[in-house]
Amino acid sequence: MSSTSSVVLNTGVSMPLVGFGTYKLCGSEEVYIAVDAALQAGYRAFDTAAVYRNEADLGRALRDLLPKHGLTREDIFLTSKLGPKDQGERAMEAALHSVSELGMDYIDLYLIHWPGTQGVAVGDPCNQGNRAGSWVALEELHAQGKLRAIGVSNYTPAHMKTLLQSCKTPPALLQVEFHPRLCQTELRRVCEEQGVCFQAYSSLGKGELVKHPVVMEVAKGCERTPAQVLLRWAVQQGVPVLPKSSNTTRIQENMALFDFSLAAAAVERLTALDDGHKYCWDPSEVA
């Protein structure tokens, strides 16, 4: 990775622009093989979550493999997330459990995964109180150094504005669905104005966008894969991405984003696909 392939969070810490997503990676062997391939390909950031149920396997794989690749804990950037069932009073205990499961002394970035609470109706105002309680717990663990940076995922502009008005420690990052069909203009503006890093997940639209005719045309024109084009579209705008794969070739391809760039016309063609389409979850109804 080049020297330009990272972003600096509002905590002053540098985070790689390309991280390795681990959603749906399960079982110690699958995790181990994928992490080995990712480290070999140059990934230095890894994204997990309590609900992925692979924190322990990821931690074990990293502890075992880092020496093999001549790396230490300080060379990698680890992200995990608070599960919706632990929103509110259980947040501190759950965050510390993630630290323990990963077998690390600290987590580089810890996010509230979802603005709602499991088992609570989406329109229930309790969701807002639970989010606020979770954030206070994360602020405390951040102050203790257990969580080097804290942030949120799947927040809407309204959720972000409420948090930014009430927090002592501002969020370092917002992780949301982002791709040419969902350009998230308002959320990006809120993040930019407030110094919050905007990070993408589901850059490939659950695999659907790699088959889109416009994406395929752009890819053919620059002799890259459709996945590389979609990922480059984001990083060229300074948006960090989290490609995920258990296929060694695709793991390598998804990291090969810094030896080419998209022409301005190609970026515009892709951005023009924006129609607000969500392939994943819709948090807009969560109170």
25-66 tens-digit pLDDT: 999 999 999 999 999 999 999 999 999 999 999 999 999 999
CB 150 within 8 A of CB 143: no
What's the average model confidence in pLDDT over 186-201? 98
Q: Give the global pTM.
A: 0.97
* Mean pLDDT computed over every residue of the chain: 96
Distance from first CA to last CA of the chain, Å, rounded? Answer: 40
Cα 111 from Cα 155, distance rounded (Å) = 11
Is the model's pLDDT at 165 over the cut of 90?
yes
How confident is the model at residue 157, as a pLDDT?
A: 97
Is the model's pLDDT at 127 over the cut of 60?
yes
Tokens read off for 67: 């020496």
Angle of helix 264-271 relative to helix 226-235, nearest 10 degrees?
100
Is the model's pLDDT at 108 over the cut of 90?
yes
How confident is the model at residue 4, as a pLDDT?
A: 54
Cα 191 from Cα 174, distance rounded (Å) = 8
Cα 151 from Cα 139, distance rounded (Å) = 10
For 241-255, the pLDDT digits (tens) are 999 999 999 999 999
Backbone dihedral angles phi then psi of residue 42, each to the nearest 5 degrees = 110, 0
Is the model's pLDDT at 2 over the cut of 70?
no
How confident is the model at residue 109, as a pLDDT?
A: 98
What's the average model confidence in pLDDT over 149-173? 98
Is the model's pLDDT at 230 over the cut of 80?
yes
CB 25 within 8 A of CB 52: yes
Is the model's pLDDT at 194 over the cut of 50?
yes
How confident is the model at residue 142, as a pLDDT?
A: 98
Is the model's pLDDT at 3 over the cut of 60?
no
How confident is the model at residue 1, as a pLDDT?
A: 47
Catalytic residues: 52
What's the average model confidence in pLDDT over 152-178? 98
Question: Could you tell me which residues come within 8 angstroms of residue 35 by beta carbon, excluding any fewer than 6 positions away?
Answer: 20, 46, 58, 61, 62, 65
